Chain A
Amino acid sequence: MSPEENPSDLAPHRFQKRGFSYERAIKYFFASNAGLTIVILALIIIFLLKEGLGFFPGYQRELQVYRIAGLEFVDISRKNLTAHEQLTSVLNRAYYAEINGRCIKQMRRSQEASALFNAYTDQTGPTRDLVLNNSQAASSPNSEMLKNLKANYEQQKAKALASLTATPHLTQMERRDLIESVRSRAVNDTDDPLFVTTLAEEFTAAQHKQAEPLQALRSTIDSFSSAGSELSSLVSEMTESVIATKEKIQGADILEKDRKTLLAAASGAKDPVEREKLMTEARTSLADKPDVEGPIQLLLEHRPDCIKAHTALRDASTRIIGQLPSSLTQLEAARLLKAARHSWPFFIADLEKTPAAINAWKPDAPVPLTDSISSFLTGKDWVTGGEWQDFYGILPLAAGSLMISIVALVLAIPTGIGAAVYVNQFASPWEQSVVKPIIEFIQAIPSVVLGFIGILVFGTVLRDISLWDSLQWIPGFPLEERLNIFTAGCLLALMSIPTIFSLAEDAINNVPSAYAEASEALGASQVQTTFRVVIPAAFSGILAAVLLGFGRVIGETMVVLLVAGNRIKIPDFTAGLGTFFQPCHTLTGIIAQELGEVPMGSVHYRALFVVGILLFAVVLTINATAHRFVNKMKH
């Protein structure tokens, strides 16, 4: 309204009168609600950083104590000792794999027979115990009751006999005899059936027979195992003293912290009497600086012994590698031996470096803050709640997350994109209307339900399949662990297929139909059109779909928490493809598992928030890249 019209003459319309400010207030109300999203995002970032950033100084102090108390010094030797133990165990496993592999027939027969018998006793055990207890305990047993119990036992027995496990390596005759002997057992018979013990004896005899030619290997392994005993006793001796020092330092740290709290309270107190009281309390609680010099000097006196033990171990190891056979006949044994031989030179090289490291170690070297950051990002151990020393290294968790994502994406990308191409390009309208809702409905399944299926059904089914004789050529079969990277990967693939499917289908759908029409007009077949024209045009959209699927897989918690096996260890990559059948732990899983149990404000608690920050950053980067691809497609 312009001033020339002389507004004072016109009565203002009631909308105008009521409100410029009223309208504006409504607008600002809505704007503030929209701004809430920014506030939430900011709060997430601020609080993650607030809890997380305190981790690095705290961890720095822990590493400092680790050094001052001499734990680091002991760990130099302990690391080699652990490597020695692992090598010994690999050699032992190779030895037994060789023997058992050579008498595999006897082993299977014995195992199957005892499995059958054990399944039977598991089922009938409780009712049988009832019969036994009641016929012994009371001098004049209630005959009515005893009769009932016996009938119950017979019933249970019949049920158990009807559902016995399969025994593919026993002959029909043997199986029948075994079942017959089980059936005719007396109630109070506690011995194993004769056939089971015979088979076990046969197996032991076969083992002994096969062990004869391997005696040289056995004695080599034994001598290697005993070569580490000197170092072992030295390490355990030093361990005790350094742990005592560490406890002293930690105790002093806690007292110091309390004193600071008291001082802060004193300066805040208004009442002068109370302030004086708090000040005196603070002064009296001033901790004595713990004596670390003495124990460290004592520890350093062990240096020559340590070096001597290491040299001895090195000499023994160099000698023993020459005595090991070049290969073994059984597949698994040969693989283990090869792994041991492969890591042997590294072990010796480590041993050679150790004396220099022992001499160069100084208890008073500073621990800069960067050390705590780098040992978090590149640390190979996530050890918490132990007596020795807590380490917060992210690598085992990141490796687990990555391996699971690889399995999930390898399965989900071809399936998801293939299904999208089929549904969009080849399927009849009727097929489309059936398949699309079903696949999209998978998205609505809560992740905890998938995890439940994984833990109760899929893991067991997979392990049973892995026991099939015809599949033994697959590395990692038979499965050692029911819950592993592969199980988790399969379920996450199922979770990410709908994401990849619907986004890829959208991308293909958004390709202008003129492209396909032009291609068909030139005489291309439908398959040619799809793969040469439509998919290249939709490529960046499909890539975005894959990235968003990846973001979903990395950030998923419940499935991996339930199904990944939760072993905090970098997977053993020497197993080749069998690596995918090992259990692992993940970035998301560790937060869900440990946050509820740690004391608030502790270094461990803060470490979990740093993992959260890392996860946040990774997922946001993936999503941002994906959205860049989507925008590229739009233009």
Chain B
Amino acid sequence: MFNPENLIRKGLPKGHFKDLVVRFVLAGLTYVVVLIAALLFAKIIMDGAPVLFKAKAPFVDFEFLTAKNETLHVFDDAQGNRHQLPASRYNDYLAKYEGAPIFNEQTYSYSGGGIAGPIVGTALLTIGSMVLALFFGVAAAIYLSEYAKQSPFIHAIRLAILNLAGIPSIVFGLFGFSVFVLAVPVITPTPSDRSLLTIPLHINHYVMSFQGWNSSLMAGCATLACMILPVIITASEESLRAVPQGFRDASLAMGATRWQTIRKCVLPFSLPGILTSSLLAITRVAGETAPIMFTAAVAAKDDLPWQGLKSPFDILSSQVQALPYHIYTLAARIPSSEYTRRAQYGSVFVFLLLVASLSVGSMILRAKLRSKLKW
């Protein structure tokens, strides 16, 4: 059969072998990365999943998720059985078998009990910072996409957003520490010594004192919100701009004001997009350690954040445990041994599960959104 191809090419084209080698090398590089990522996840899942999941119903070890974090005591009893008990149950044991001999006792800080404190702390930090960042970020994005025209002010804002997005997280930690922990104003009857400036308010001896919020949930949320703000603004502006111009024109032509247009014709259509991309921002907020090290996080805390408070608002000014900081403590501050593995890999597994579900969720939502909203 006549094939015009035969007239041009006979056999393999020149340099075919070289092409194959180049393709092979590039594919190799790509799959090496994929393989390394797979190995990493496999290692964490292999060591972490047994901590969280059990063979028997209900299949999930809820105790690990809901118990407080405690020191782990490891010891042998007189029968030579090895016990691993968190501090509270250890005390119960001592009270129950009073006088019974105990051998080879070892203690491991932060390794006993569960990780309820860190989980709750991370959730509070994430919620607080996302509320702040979404409020200010979406408002800024509305200005940038709906009101702004070319002006030096807009140019400065865009430059600031670009620069904020590039600042290393540890510098945000320094910033949060020097501003939110040490310098922001509070209203109090008794200003502290390190207050930068006190302004008398003439109401019951109350003064406004620039002494900061100390290391607290508030300070941590504010720092994280500043860090994530540029991401939220960029993502929200993108989804606001994705709403077709015709929607706005139609609304304005009907006599609606700008604000009414934004509220009724732009925001409702861009909200799914904004929320989807803020899911991705949540993974970043939940995963950062450096900004909260000095502004909010504490390695060990006996109570959950809402326990032992005088008023509900005190929760904002108390320190919290956080999952990434907890992992840092487990990795860096305590010697690794077979008894600490449960706490270490369990925490990492739960943390990764959290982050993975958030980012997979955002990927799926984005794909759905793209197919649904087509104008």
Contacts and interface: CB of A to CB of B under 8 A. Distances in A.
Interface of A: 13, 15, 19, 23, 26-27, 29-31, 33-38, 40-41, 43-44, 47-48, 50-51, 126-127, 129-130, 133, 142, 145, 148-149, 151-153, 414-415, 418-419, 421-423, 426-427, 435, 437-439, 441-442, 444-449, 451-453, 455-457, 494, 497, 501, 525-528, 531, 551, 554-558, 561-562, 588, 591-592, 595-596, 600, 608-609, 612, 615-616, 619-620, 622-623, 627
Contacts of B286: 446
B191 interface: no
Given A35-B157, A562-B332, 6 more contacts: A35-B153, A133-B103, A151-B80, A415-B32, A595-B173, A622-B166
B324 interface: yes
28 contacts: A23-B258, A27-B143, A38-B156, A38-B157, A40-B160, A43-B175, A130-B103, A148-B79, A148-B80, A423-B30, A427-B30, A438-B34, A439-B33, A444-B355, A444-B356, A451-B328, A501-B33, A527-B22, A555-B169, A556-B168, A557-B173, A557-B289, A558-B328, A561-B332, A595-B294, A608-B174, A609-B174, A612-B171
Nearest to B174: A612
B139 A527 contact: no
Nearest to B291: A557
Nearest to A156: B80
Contacts of B43: 453, 457
Nearest to B28: A418
A445 B34 contact: no
A155 B76 CA distance: 15
Given A419-B29, A446-B288, A47 B175 contact: yes
A48 B167 CA distance: 13
Nearest to B196: A50
A552 to B, nearest CB: 9
B324 A446 contact: yes
- Main secondary structure on B side of the interface with A: helix
B327 A37 contact: no
A15 B257 contact: yes
Interface of A, secondary structure class, is: helix
Nearest to B14: A525
Given A48-B178, A145-B79, A600 B103 contact: no
Interface in B39-69: 40, 43-44
A596 B294 contact: yes
Contacts of B173: 557, 591-592, 595
Interface string B177-215: 111001100000000001000000000000000000000
A449 B328 CA distance: 8
Interface stretch (B89-97, B107-115, B226-234, B306-314): B226-234
B63 to A, nearest CB: 23
Contact of B290 (A50, A435, A452, A558): A558
Given A40-B226, A418-B26, A561-B332, A439 B34 contact: yes
Given A38-B156, A444-B359, A126 B104 contact: yes
A-B complex: 7 closest residue pairs judged by Cβ atoms: A555-B168, A446-B287, A152-B80, A30-B143, A418-B29, A33-B139, A623-B166
A34 B78 CA distance: 69
Interface stretch (B242-250, B265-273, B344-352): B344-352
B36 A494 contact: yes
B26 A30 contact: no
B34 A41 contact: no
Interface of B: 13, 15-16, 18-19, 22-23, 25-27, 29-34, 36-38, 40, 43-44, 76, 78-80, 103-104, 136, 139-140, 142-144, 146-148, 153, 156-157, 160-164, 166-175, 177-179, 182-183, 194, 226, 229-230, 233, 255-260, 280, 283, 286-290, 293-294, 324-325, 327-328, 330-332, 336, 344, 348, 351-352, 355-356, 358-360, 363
A526 B19 contact: yes
B331 A616 contact: no
Given A444-B356, A555-B170, A525 B33 contact: no
Nearest to A454: B331
B267 to A, nearest CB: 12
A448 B283 CA distance: 13
Contact of B136 (A31, A36, A449, A453): A36
Contacts of B147: 27, 30-31
A19 B174 CA distance: 44
A448 B27 contact: no
